[in-house]
Amino acid sequence: MYGYDLRIFREDGTVCDANEKGIVGIVPPLPPGCLSTVWGDDDRFVKTYFSLFKDPLVYSSFDWGIKDDEGYHFILGRTDDVINVAGHRLGTREIEEAIQGHAAVAEVAVVGVNDQLKGQEPVAFAVVKDQARVATPELRAALEAEIKKAVDNSLGAIARPKRVHFVTGLPKTRSGKMLRRSIQALAEGRDAGDLTTIDDTSTLDQIKAALAG
């Protein structure tokens, strides 16, 4: 959109090369229509959005993205959802998109789970279009292998999920937001946290059952 000096930055504040993943930022001045402050709390606005990069001063969107050779930008997820797999930074959204490219998958959530060797590993929870595809352990294993191969082909073996668990629904709030933090907590054996906004508690039970194997 006209008026935005959009760039992809490394964590040290330098600009990324084409096809290099980084943090999406906007070089000031911000164009008309952008949030210009937090009402009654200018300091909070500056600390929140202008504290990540000081030289140059950059508005941080807290999105993880990439710019291709032609100058098109792609959002790969929130920086909070970026996982570190053996030194490689991966956005969970890009893994999800690779998995959803499989014809059998209707919906998926990917979270990063702590791993002693690699730091973190992606774990996927997928909803399939036809439950007959996962009706037996053998069918589930076969589909899991297909999905892992699809991720390998799209992003490389480094992004391959450690596991792909199959469920019939994913935990979301009543407004439709995915409860990724709760899914991640359960995958790491922690408490799922505040669930007052969850739409269907049975979806968490499915996550627990899938993890129990």
E strands along the chain, which residues?
6-9, 22-26, 53-54, 57-67, 73-78, 82-85, 88-91, 105-115, 119-128, 163-167
Class of domain 80-212: alpha beta
100: Cβ contacts below 8 Å, ≥ 6 apart: 107, 108
Any idea what the Cα angle at residue 52 is, between residues 121 and 64, rounded to 5°? 40
Class of domain 6-71: mainly beta
Confidence (pTM) = 0.79
Specify the higher pLDDT residue, 54 or 196.
196
Which positions are annotated as active-site residues? 80
Q: What is the pLDDT of residues 112-140, one digit of tens each?
A: 999 888 899 999 999 999 999 999 999 99
Domain boundaries, the chain: 6-71, 80-212
CA 168 to chain centre: 20
Q: What percent of the chain has pLDDT over 90?
A: 72
